Structure 1
């Protein structure tokens, strides 16, 4: 997988509660330690999830014939159309519910998180998010169908962790400015979670098509 393929996938992995959590962690009393715990969780979950998805793709093999990408009536194309329809419906739902949209209640407790809890959050946000599971499945299937080794997934894993680390890197590089900017970014993302969801859905539609 080249950089042009990997970068959108890595960015999409962190859109939503993932990047919001990363920003919240750099606004905690111990931002570096807590953020490093979060990044460790993200790294391990992404590496393990991708390996599992590649293994599942190898086990399934050719058990399911999805058909050619040029065959618009194939099972694969029908599944793509259904997914696009569901994603479009989800984006519309997010738009219609934007006035009452709120971040998850558990996110409000992250300000007091310790490194251990941040690590668990990093794991769960990757392994329990349907969107991230779909992306890791996409990478795993790509590796298997192209006969590529697991090592070729390392740029995807590294870029995902790098995107997750952007708030911490911003804090370390622009200390005073970042300390002032991060809480504003956190509050904006909390109040515009519906917009983040729509962006994720649209990116998935583009990836599928």
Structure 2
């Protein structure tokens, strides 16, 4: 993959309920153990998801990545259309959009629940599925091997680990700051979703 695109793709993977989960876990009891479970789930889900999309994309002849009429390019244009519709939907519903209710249950989560959460926030989030599809298509079009997806996977896990790293480096400040960040994202979830869609549309185009 083009190294320039790795960081924005990884950020797109984690913005939304994904990073909100990571923030909640560092404000919960046993923050380090719980966050480690979450990161393990994110790493496993991203690896498996990217491997699946790469395997599926490799079966088809997607054409030259520089050819705007190739099958791979058409797939990416369809993804852009879906993201644009999602952004419009979030704007129209901005007054009523709320974060998922299950986020409120994570404060009492243990490492096992955190691990499952890490799996689900990757496997079940449409935006993350779109990102992994794009990575798989790009790798297949470039006739690359799966090892070239490892920087994307590693960077995604690193972005997911930022709340925990902040907690470990600046414990007292993190304890005070993270709840405020969480509350802001709660009330601006519609804006976060729109920003994610726009960033990813730019990356694809």
Q: TM-score, normalised by structure 1?
A: 0.89
Matched, 1:141 2:106: no
Per-residue CA deviation, residues 158-195 of structure 1 (Å, 9 max, x unaligned), is: 00000000000000011111110001001111111111
Q: For 2:78 and 2:149, locate their aligned partners in 1 and report how far apart those are by CA, in whole Å.
A: 28
- Cα pair 1:37 1:119 within 8 Å, conserved: yes
Distance 1:140 1:174 in 2: 37
Q: Does 1:102 align with 2:112?
A: no
- Using the TM superposition, give the Cα deviation of residue 98 of structure 1 relative to its aligned residue in structure 2, in angstroms: 1.9
Q: Do the aligned partners of 2:135 and 2:149 also contact (CA within 8 Å) in 1?
A: yes
CA distance in 2, matches of 1:89, 1:141: 21
The CA distance in 1 between the partners of 2:82 and 2:166, in whole Å, is 36
The whole-number CA distance in structure 1 between the counterparts of 2:88 and 2:141 is 34
Q: Residues 54 and 92 (structure 1 numbering): CA distance in 2 closer, same or farther, change over 3 Å?
A: closer
Q: Residues 176, 206 of structure 1: CA spacing in aligned structure 2 closer, same or farther, 3 A cutoff?
A: same
> 1:120 and 2:83 equivalent?
no
1:98 match: secondary structure: coil
2: CA distance, partners of 1:34 / 1:76: 39
Partner of 1:150: 146
Question: Which residue matches 1:69?
Answer: 67
Secondary structure at 1:69 match in 2: coil
The root-mean-square deviation of aligned C-alpha atoms, in Å, is 2.1
Counterpart Cα distance in 2 of 1:45 and 1:8? 19
The secondary structure found in structure 1 opposite 2:143 is coil
Aligned 8 A contact 2:65 2:138 in 1? no
* Structure 2 counterpart of 1:197: 193
Separation (CA, whole Å) in 2 of partners of 1:31 and 1:164: 14
Q: Structure 2 vs 1, CA of residues 75 and 145 (structure 1 numbering), >3 Å: closer, same or farther? A: closer
Deviation at 1:147, TM superposition (A): 2.0
Q: Distance in 2 between matches of 1:146 and 1:97?
A: 39
Unaligned runs of 5+ in 2: none
The verdict on how the C-alpha distance between 1:7 and 1:202 changes in structure 2, with shifts beyond 3 A counting, is same
Of the three residues 93, 111, 132, the one matched with 2:107 is 111
> Within the alignment, does 1:130 sit opposite 2:121 as a pair?
no
For residues 82-129 of structure 1, give each alpha carbon's deviation from its aligned partner in whole angstroms, at most 9, with x where no partner exists: 544443332232123222221111111011111000000100111111
- Count residues in correspondence: 205
**Correspondence for 1:3:** 3
Please list every run of 5 or more consecutive structure 1 residues that lacks an aligned counterpart in the other structure: none
Contact 1:67 1:75 in 2 (8 A): no
